[in-house]
Structure 1
Amino acid sequence: MVKNNKRMIDDNIRLVLAMTIIIIVMIILLPFVFLDKNGSSNKFELNNNNIITSSAIQFPKNGKVKLYNSESNSAEEIDLEEYIMGVVASEMPANFNEEALKAQAVAARTFYINRRNNKCSNASSHNAEICDTVHCQVYMDKNKRLSLWNSKDAEKNWNKIEKAVMDTKGQVLTYNGEVLEYPQYFAVSFGKTEEAMDVLSIDIPYLKSTDSKGEEIAPKFKSTKQMSAEEFISEIKKKYPNVDIRTENIKEGIYVEKYNKSGSVNIIKVGGISIKGSEFRKLFNLNSTYFTLDIRDDIVTMSCTGYGHGIGMSQWGANVMGKNGYTYIDILKHYYSGIEVEKLEYN
């Protein structure tokens, strides 16, 4: 009986010691582990360093944006949030709703974080990460932007944008624990956004076609381009010299072969040649791929609805949603399917 009691005491001591060791190890390691909502840790590659992601994605505390200034043909370093202010001020009208401006700030910040990992080809040769043109996203510093606004509204405009950026400080879009690779945005939709597969020929799960209502008030919602049938054919033949199209058969020789899910033109048939809607848009510098052709009296009229590539967030649509009481989170989740808004951790 005494031996049994001694064995039980020894077993209890071993159990206590084992539990103590486990607790000590957990205390040491816990600060270095971040778990996502499902209790598993994810990693995000940032400049070839493994970064643990969850509700916090690490970012250097004193990290700078390495920006290629196309005007001076040189690289400069800027604080992240200062850079985002310059992008929002350049990419979205200051009189837009505050929630739309916040949504734009998060999308722009996400775009930059992706560029840290996938540097812009124009910028990398100058030891920079991202450029200040439409090739990436437009950026103007505060002084330049203020000079282009009406002097009466300039400071008020900048303060409004600064607040929108700081209210979303460090926030980025993620999908399955990773920062979005394609946080695309554009100016005006035609009532819907595009499916990535239809435009980019790759399936991006968070870039699906969705409704985008109320943008009829946008200045570039409707646009028209006219030219003679001869000029139209000449432009086509510059790119497609073997196309069989003449003024005599132009009406019968042009038709839409395939539409996108959104209703825009996927493929247009011209003189026996199939041309992608996006290529046709580029060829004639049209505002969108949601277009119609009307040919009469040897005049070709191309009528467009919307402005931009149509993928991701419509800026005018975001403004409409903000005015209708939706938050920037609502806006972002509407335009980017299945995403989360998470925050950078400055380490």
Structure 2
Amino acid sequence: MSRQPNRRRGRIRRSRIIVGRPLRAGWKPAVARAATLGLAPALLIGATVGGIAHVRSGAPGVEQAVAADTPFTFSGHGHGHGRGMGQWGAYGYAQDGWTAERIVGHFYGGTSLGTVDVAPIAVRLMGQDDVPLAVYSDAGLVVAGQQVGPGDAAHLTPTADGGADVVVTAGCSGEVRWQGRADLPWVDPVDLGEDRPGNEHLKLCADGTAYRGAIGVVLDGSAARTVNRLSVEDYLRAAVVPVESLPGWADTGGAEALRAQAIAARSYALAEQRHEKWQTCDTQSCQVYGGSAKEDPRTDDAVRTTRGMVLLKDGKVVRTEFSASTGGYSAGGDFPSVEDLGDKVAPNQQWAKTLTAGEIGNAFGVGELQNFEVLTRNNLGADGGRVTRVRVVGADRTIETTGAEARAKLGLRSDWFTVNEGAESAVPPSTPAPETGPEVAITPFGTDQSPAIQEKYNELGGVTGQLGSPVGPELMLPDERGKFRVFTNGVILWTPEFGAQVFDASILRQWLPGTGSAE
């Protein structure tokens, strides 16, 4: 029997089936298809992560469901959370003749442009967690007050008193030159000044990644953490601006967009205070930072010509979020929502993704899908704007959750979307942005991994510790009050008020109203 696509925006049309027996051909259980994103549904204590769950009874009767292989197309706008500056929008405005100052003024309403003294910044290198520090430099280095020759490596193990045990070797794995103790657990380059030549940069023995400034290893409880301490201007040059934007924009009329990125990235970094021993980190949880290898003269110029420039509110540096593409309208939040006409140049201003009903049901852990409904939007931009709340109805349970959580579970480019039945050809295909482009959406409490939860997990021993292996990904609490992750032997729950805490799985009943009910 042929079926016509439902054209009602944001709602999936349902077909009637009798539980246990399909009434029409082509239906097959959703469990026959794995969710393409690999996001595990919540399996513990009957909870549906990120929302309110209502578990259905097993009584027989007439239910409504959608055939598992039925396609649904999600079409939307933008790439990322859309808060603050859109990086492609900044590029579009720069091509239209806007200055960096005008660009940041447009996206970050309610702030003023100011200048601060150049300050040092400490960056946790997340990939080096729980790894002893081993570094070398082509020009030599300084550790424990001792000069170390070119190519020789310093190995540091942190001690409880704030110092470190030091071993210096010929190369990274050669004979021991000398060993001793350092009162301060830091390795310095031969010159700690700004803008030093590449042969003076410190390099990790593990992979040769080079960093400006000093590198140290500190204890966070009993866990070792590697930290890079350098001038914020060197930090911006060393991969932040060239990674978060495209240096080539300068060659196509977009130099002012790079300057705007430098101002936003500097403000964001200086407003960060993740830990008493470091301000920020080197992953998408903070700002992507990969050392000095990706520096580019064009982004160097953007940093140099905006030296010390930041955005201020009430005399304080503002945490200026940004993402790749707003889709034509920023999302609001800490800064007023604004129309983003510059975003017309974005490769993902419009996108589409087709998923089956089975994949949708599996992604949300609701069983056989019966309905997916957009409940509320922010009323900014086309189609009613970004989705703020959805309801997903399945044979096993019903959940309500945020648009941001729906975006994460379904692997959508943004939470500004509509959904229609069918694999529609009228919507534009998803166009990938350049691989080195601003694909990173700065989402401190969004879909990326929470550093606080990961830190707590590492502190407790990781997979060999008391919590055991993760059961699923990190997920958001209702109303974005915080995040949590379920492990074999418990839960780590993070909120701004209480930080990261470990609980028995039953604590989720208090945070997810209706969990485990038989309604």
Q: Is the 8 A contact 1:89 1:161 kept in 2?
A: yes
More RCO (CA 8 Å, sep 6+): 2
* 1:290 aligned onto 2:413: no
Which structure 2 residue ranges, 5 or more long, are not aligned? 1-111, 130-225, 434-438, 444-519
1:267 is displaced (CA, Å) by 1.1
Match of 1:141 among 269, 291, 314: 291
Q: Is the 8 A contact 2:328 2:349 kept in 1?
A: no
Q: Which residue of 1 aligns with 2:245?
A: 92
C-alpha separation in 1, matches of 2:234 and 2:350: 34
1:209 is displaced (CA, Å) by 0.9
C-alpha separation in 2, matches of 1:282 and 1:137: 19
Judged with a 3 Å threshold, the aligned counterparts in structure 2 of structure 1 residues 258 and 77 are, in CA distance, closer, same or farther, namely: same
C-alpha separation in 2, matches of 1:72 and 1:128: 14
C-alpha separation in 1, matches of 2:336 and 2:114: 24
Match of 1:81 among 210, 233, 242: 233
The one-letter code matched in structure 2 to 1:89 is P
1:171 is displaced (CA, Å) by 0.7
SS at match of 2:128: coil
Q: What percent identity do the matched residue pairs reach? A: 25
Judged with a 3 Å threshold, the aligned counterparts in structure 2 of structure 1 residues 269 and 308 are, in CA distance, closer, same or farther, namely: farther
* 1:258 aligned onto 2:376: yes
Judged with a 3 Å threshold, the aligned counterparts in structure 2 of structure 1 residues 54 and 232 are, in CA distance, closer, same or farther, namely: closer
Q: Is the 8 A contact 2:263 2:311 kept in 1?
A: yes
SS at match of 2:362: helix
Deviations 1:301-338 (A, max 9, x none): 99989977699xxxxxxxxxxxxxxxxxxxxxxxxxxx
C-alpha separation in 2, matches of 1:185 and 1:54: 17
Which structure 1 residue ranges, 5 or more long, are not aligned? 1-52, 147-157, 197-203, 238-242, 312-347
Match of 2:399 among 273, 289, 311: 273
Higher Cα Rg, which structure: 1
Q: Which residue of 1 aligns with 2:297?
A: 159
C-alpha separation in 1, matches of 2:285 and 2:442: 16
Judged with a 3 Å threshold, the aligned counterparts in structure 2 of structure 1 residues 302 and 269 are, in CA distance, closer, same or farther, namely: farther
Deviations 1:208-260 (A, max 9, x none): 110001424323333332232122212211xxxxx5x745xx3xx22221111
Please tell me the root mean square deviation across aligned C-alpha atoms, in Å: 3.1
Judged with a 3 Å threshold, the aligned counterparts in structure 2 of structure 1 residues 302 and 246 are, in CA distance, closer, same or farther, namely: farther
Q: Is the 8 A contact 2:284 2:441 kept in 1?
A: no
C-alpha separation in 2, matches of 1:302 and 1:284: 18
Please give the TM-score of this superposition, normalised by the length of structure 2.
Answer: 0.38
The one-letter code matched in structure 2 to 1:191 is G
Runs of 4+ in 1 over 6 A off after TM superposition: 301-311
SS at match of 1:288: coil
* 1:235 aligned onto 2:363: yes
Judged with a 3 Å threshold, the aligned counterparts in structure 2 of structure 1 residues 132 and 308 are, in CA distance, closer, same or farther, namely: closer
Q: Is the 8 A contact 1:222 1:304 kept in 2?
A: yes
The size of the alignment, in residue pairs, is 214
Higher helix share: 1
* 1:65 aligned onto 2:124: no
The one-letter code matched in structure 2 to 1:233 is G
C-alpha separation in 2, matches of 1:228 and 1:54: 48
The one-letter code matched in structure 1 to 2:124 is Y
SS at match of 2:247: coil
Match of 1:221 among 339, 349, 358: 349
Q: Is the 8 A contact 2:113 2:311 kept in 1?
A: no
C-alpha separation in 2, matches of 1:275 and 1:69: 33
Please give the TM-score of this superposition, normalised by the length of structure 1.
Answer: 0.55
1:95 is displaced (CA, Å) by 1.7
The one-letter code matched in structure 2 to 1:291 is F
Match of 2:258 among 76, 101, 117: 101
C-alpha separation in 1, matches of 2:126 and 2:428: 34
1:176 is displaced (CA, Å) by 2.5
C-alpha separation in 1, matches of 2:353 and 2:262: 33
Judged with a 3 Å threshold, the aligned counterparts in structure 2 of structure 1 residues 278 and 108 are, in CA distance, closer, same or farther, namely: same
